[in-house]
Amino acid sequence: MRETSMFKSTIFFLVINFGALALGGFMQGEGPMSDWYQNLNKAPWTPPGWFFGVAWTTIMVCFSLFMAKLVQANQSAALITTFVVQFVLNVAWNPVFFNLGQMTIALFLIIALTIIVGIFLFKYGKEVGSWKWLVLPYFAWLIVATSLNAYAVMYN
């Protein structure tokens, strides 16, 4: 029974998390293909475009597995609220940065998202043992993404 529940939870979180990526992508307009972004002074450590798809796919698979395991241990209102806040911040960053070009507001959003994902890693991670390391790619990527956003704010 527990494996079936874990399987169903994993599918649920895969749908929700990839849905967030799709929604954010839909709301970003032309996104990285826009003239605005192409002409942006980007950080020297900006990865090539193909890397973003690989990174986000890996992140969302790992985060979905983590969340599926976590909800087996904790279904509190606080956890659900934290997940919803993460979802909203993740979706909101794309249109704010790419579509609206509001880099400073986007920076605050991504800092908040990094803090929320840090809560998953450092607070909720204790509840799932070694499964907590599945959040590390998300947290690490957000640190890099925050630095890219901060560079754009400072040098454009």
Token pair listed for 94: 């794309």
In whole angstroms, what is the distance from residue 49 CA to residue 52 CA? 6
CATH number, residue 129: 1.20.1260.100
Q: What pLDDT is recorded for position 2?
A: 56
In whole angstroms, what is the distance from residue 49 CA to residue 37 CA? 12
Cα-flanking dihedrals φ and ψ of residue 23, to 5°? -65, -45
In whole angstroms, what is the distance from residue 54 CA to residue 68 CA? 21
Q: What pLDDT is recorded for position 29?
A: 85
In whole angstroms, what is the distance from residue 130 CA to residue 73 CA? 14
Token pair listed for 113: 């998202």
* Cα separations in angstroms, 33 against 29, 30, 37, 104, 149: 9, 5, 7, 20, 17
Q: What pLDDT is recorded for position 3?
A: 60
Residue 59, CB half-sphere, CA atoms under 13 Å: how many?
20
- What is the domain count for the chain? 1
Q: What is the average pLDDT across 10-22?
A: 97
In whole angstroms, what is the distance from residue 122 CA to residue 88 CA? 20
**In 1-155, which ranges are continuous DSSP H helix?**
2-27, 35-38, 49-73, 77-94, 103-122, 136-155
pLDDT, tens digit (0-9, with 9 covering 90-100), for 73-111:
999 999 999 999 999 999 999 999 999 999 999 999 999
Q: Which domain holds residue 84?
A: 2-155
Q: What is the average pLDDT across 3-9?
A: 85
Mean pLDDT across the chain: 95
